[in-house]
Amino acid sequence: MPVHFACSAWGNSPMVGEKRTLHGIIEAVQGAIITPEESQNSLVPDNPDFYRALLDRVGDGVYFVDRERRIVYWNEGAARLTGYKADEILGKNCQDNILCHVDHFGKNLCQDGCPLSASISDGESHQAHAFLRHKQGRRVPVSIRVQPMRGADGSIIGAIEIFSENSAAIETERKMDAMIRLAFLDHLTLMPNRRFLEMSLQTALSEYEVHKDPFGVLLIDLDKFKKINDSFGHAGGDRALQETAKTLLGSLRPTDTVGRWGGDEFLAITRNVNLESLRELAQRCVVLIGATAVLTGDGKRIPMTSSVGAALSRPGETAEELVHRADKLMYQSKTSGRGRATIE
């Protein structure tokens, strides 16, 4: 049986101020869990502060929009996952592209494919996987669930979105904890270091020789990194590396391994791929790094692009030969104009 949210404050007039906004939300939440028949004997509190605290204790991000997609509520979980506090978000429209949601192909979902807009239009629930842009610039992989909100008369008055970091990011954190204990972590980027990558590459080659499981490597190099250091200082360069690392850790699959190879180079080992899927992963890295704008301490944004070389493993090839081939392909990307991937 579908749940209809009763919210007379939203249905009759526009939101004015935080108190009015919260009042409408509380009515919506109460209408969802307390029926009129239960209201006399219900043990559920009717104090608005109870519901504010309840939503703020939810680990997931939760926010509500009205029919114009104006954000009227933003919980503590949303602030934690995005870096934006409620006073920076409330009253703004989600189509203003504050979080800059993009899909795996870099398509801007806020302008084309917004699940909130879809729920408001068709009255159905929607789900999506996307990459939001954190206030600090990195891309965060999230799972999104959206439900329409209805007034007492059944008309749609807005929508609620619940979002959380997806399982790939959680699995990445688990791997990182293990690597800290084994001293296989790059201390600047907090991702696998070269020693760990070399071991993982040898493991992948051994499995390839025995089981013929195909794999590939991506060599990812930040474009014009010296210029970033010269223009924004070494602190800016370090921030660019750190935010790129976070973007890459969220961009690839749980079965892939990505780490810092050295300097401004990153290496990813991608398992169970063919040439086409390797191409897709390489292009995803290019697109998402290009959509990562790093915020400096004085409020400036560092533009980012990358050049990628992607090589599929070949029988009898050593680790050094495979990486060398990826390195040559990466330089082909740079000489062809940067901000692109070359695959072989």
Residues 6+ apart with CB under 8 A from 132: 81, 82, 99, 100, 101, 139, 140, 142, 163
* Coil vs helix vs strand at 146: strand
CB 227 within 8 A of CB 311: no
Residue at token pair 């409408």: 24
Residues 6+ apart with CB under 8 A from 273: 214, 215, 216, 281, 312
CA pair distance 230, 145, nearest whole angstrom: 43
d(CA 167, CA 164): 9
Which of left, alpha, beta for 137 (phi over 0: left; psi -120 to 50: alpha)?
left
Question: DSSP secondary-structure letter at 102?
Answer: B
Cα–Cα distance measured from residue 235 to residue 228, given in angstroms and rounded to the nearest whole number: 10
254: tokens are 């749980």
Quick check: is 264 catalytic? yes
In the chain, at which residue ranges do the beta strands (DSSP E only) sit? Answer: 61-66, 71-74, 126-133, 139-150, 156-165, 185-186, 191-192, 215-222, 257-262, 265-271, 294-295, 301-302, 306-312, 341-343
Catalytic residue among 186, 256, 264, 327: 264
Catalytic residue IDs: 264
